[in-house]
């Protein structure tokens, strides 16, 4: 299969995931369309697949849109008629800055399992992504705050950034002639009850 987001400037202006199921000769056997229904100068960007049961097939697909929505698509079923948007069709999370402005997501996400022994969330699946865009004429002059997120996917939605632990930059400087930034140091137990973290 070939999995793509519809991108921007579609006629419907919605965020839509397309899965092209292919024959062995490469021709298209069928097309599965998973429409988020969220329109208004919107579009779905590069999707990331994840094999949750390690059997060699994709079970979940994660992708973001221009409205800051983090979408999780459940394609774990054996038949495509059962494939759907997870969380009953709601976004897993909506990225917004401290002033409640939606943050566009235009880059692929990364997915990994926390393997740190003794950690509060060991064994849990994290979804990592940054916000921002750089394809519209006004983007180079846009200095709005953007954010890097690490969300824990426990099979439900995350209401807002108040459910996340805020991390910060402590300082900036130069090392070996290159600009560097230092991060706040985590404290033991500071992720208890949290559903991930963010850093502006």
Cα separation, 164 vs 102, in Å, equals 16
Tokens of 147: 């954010």
Tokens of 26: 């490469």
Query: Three-state SS for 163?
Result: helix
Q: How many helices (H) and strands (E) does the chain have?
A: 0, 15
Site of tokens 């994660």: 62
- Which pLDDT score is estimated for 151? 98
pLDDT, tens digit (0-9, with 9 covering 90-100), for 62-78 = 999 999 999 999 999 99
State mean pLDDT over 86-102: 97
pLDDT, tens digit (0-9, with 9 covering 90-100), for 24-49 = 999 999 999 999 999 999 999 999 99
The model scores a pTM over 0.85: yes
Please tell me the total number of residues recorded for the chain in this structure: 200
- Which pLDDT score is estimated for 186? 87
């Amino acid at each position: 299969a070939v999995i793509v987001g519809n991108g921007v400037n579609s006629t419907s202006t919605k965020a839509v995931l397309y899965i092209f199921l292919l024959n062995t000769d490469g021709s298209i056997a069928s097309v599965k369309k998973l429409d988020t229904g969220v329109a208004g100068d919107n579009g779905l960007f590069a999707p990331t697949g994840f094999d949750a049961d390690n059997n060699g097939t994709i079970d979940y697909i994660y992708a973001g849109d221009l409205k800051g929505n983090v979408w999780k698509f459940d394609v774990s079923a054996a038949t495509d008629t059962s494939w759907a948007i997870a969380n009953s069709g709601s976004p897993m999370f909506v990225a917004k800055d401290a002033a409640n402005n939606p943050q566009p997501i235009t880059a692929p996400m990364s997915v990994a399992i926390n393997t740190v022994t003794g950690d509060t969330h060991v064994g849990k699946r994290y979804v990592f992504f940054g916000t921002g865009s750089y394809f519209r004429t006004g983007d180079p002059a846009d200095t709005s705050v953007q954010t890097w997120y690490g969300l824990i996917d426990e099979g439900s939605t995350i209401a807002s950034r108040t459910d996340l632990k805020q991390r910060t930059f402590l300082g900036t400087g130069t090392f070996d002639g290159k600009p560097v930034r230092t991060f706040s140091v985590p404290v033991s137990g500071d992720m208890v009850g949290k559903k991930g973290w963010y850093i502006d």
